[in-house]
Amino acid sequence: MAEKDAWEQCLYRFARVLLLNGETARKLVTETLEESIRAGVGESSDRDRVIMLQFQDLRRRALKIHPAAKTPIPAASISLPGGASEIVPRVGPDQIEAALHGLPEPGRSAYTLLLLDTMDAESIATLLDLEPAAFAEAVQGARLATQQALAAIEPEAAS
Amino acid sequence: MNTKQARQHLLAYRPSGADDGDRSTRAALKAAAAAPELQAEFHNQLAFDRALAGRLDAIIPDDLAEPLTEAAARLLTKKHRRLSLRDPAMLSVGLAFLVIIGLGVWIFLGKANSFAGMDEVTEMVQAGDKAQPSEFQELETKAGTLTDWFAMQDFDGFAVPPGMESAPVVGVRVFKYEDVPVATAAVARPRAFFYVFEAQPFGISLPAGEWRTLEYGDKTRRTLAIRQIGNMAFVVALRGSKADMQSYLNSIRPPDH
């Protein structure tokens, strides 16, 4: 029985955010896993590292297919507006997906992986080759940009 | 941890709270609890992140969940699957290994029973086996008593291995094979021939006390066993297989062997 918070499910969700296309994401995740199986990546005794490598490999492939946006992100010193979470129930999963997809890298991957909750912050920072401070700034910038993107959605479109 | 450091740490806080047991996270949470502004910002951030994370969970096609789980299981359990004896690859490797071992044993056993001068000795024994009864001098005695008899026939050095002295001899003769004198004794039980000759002309050099056995004979299966006694080679030849010969050798082995 598949669990919704299993890491492989998160791998697919990550692919969806990076590509904004369900079929391409499905294909990419399957290819990534199958190639790792063929290459014997799973023979490593470090399970967490094997999982991290799947996300890293998938991201590399996804960025080749669909490079990230280059829009600037807000400064990490800015705080999230009060009551920011209230907008979330008013938008659909597709709009959340699109908002995350529109973020620039590495903030997009940093924030999405943090939300998917498959790895700890240190592992995500390692995966993205970021120092802890840079990682925190990237996450906060992406968080603020996501909130702004969701807040900009017209109530009619959101419904 | 000061407020600035705590904020930086909490910006990357996992919304599930999975890091709460982490020492630095505990310190950051403690610092935030002491700073109302940071505490409020953190709670606002946490509510936003948790709301988003909850919505992301819905992104998965129903028909993909199970195949993904199976692929992930295959990835993470490949090591164990590879080591399974039911794995065809493992079976092939195992089979190849057994064949190599078997080949090695076969070669070793073949070499173990080969010796220098083997072909000449086989020819000599085959020639000796064809001797007619009339070519033997009748003599009923024990094999261990023949040294003097052969010495009187100008054949020095006749000797039998320990345990074979009491073999019942019924006839004796000396013949030459490639100009090398060969003392022969016909034994009644089991029906066999003892051959004794100088080892050096045939290049025979065997470790002391070790037997080499060899099957020969075209129509009738016969086996010879050879060992060296000083400068002389001793051969016993009888009808039967290597197993028969081994059985005979075991039966005559002296008690202290």
Residues of A in contact with B19 (CB under 8 A): 120-121
Q: What is the pLDDT of residues A76-126, one digit of tens each?
A: 788 898 888 888 888 888 899 999 999 999 999 999 999 999 889 999 999
**B12/A139 CB distance under 8 A:** yes
**B66/A2 CB distance under 8 A:** yes
What residues contact A133, with CB distance under 8 A and at least 6 apart? B8
Q: Which two tokens stand for residue B62?
A: 């129903």
pTM: 0.56
Residue of B19, B23, B60, B87 for testing the chain A interface, max A β-carbons within 10 Å: B60
Q: What is the pLDDT of residues B162-179, one digit of tens each?
A: 999 999 999 999 999 999
Name which of B53, B67, B74 is nearest A37 (Cβ-Cβ): B74
The answer regarding whether domain A84-158 maps to CATH 1.25.40 reads no
What is the chain B residue with the closest CA to A49? B76
Helix, strand, or coil here: A84?
Answer: helix
- Quote the CA–CA distance of B185 and B180 in Å, as a whole number: 16
Name which of A8, A29, A93 is nearest B55 (Cβ-Cβ): A93
Is the pLDDT at A157 greater than 60? The verdict is no
**A115/B74 CB distance under 8 A:** no
Q: Which two tokens stand for residue A12?
A: 């697919």
Q: What is the pLDDT of residues B86-97, one digit of tens each?
A: 666 677 777 888
Residues of A in contact with B3 (CB under 8 A): none
Residues of chain A with CATH 1.10.10: 84-158
Name which of A8, A13, A80 is nearest B72 (Cβ-Cβ): A8
Q: What is the pLDDT of residues B196-242, one digit of tens each?
A: 999 999 999 998 889 999 998 877 889 999 999 999 999 999 999 98
Residue of B48, B50, B83 for testing the chain A interface, max A β-carbons within 10 Å: B48
**The most confident of A44-48, A63-67, B177-181, B252-256, by mean pLDDT:** B177-181
**A13/B60 CB distance under 8 A:** yes
- Quote the CA–CA distance of B170 and B189 in Å, as a whole number: 10
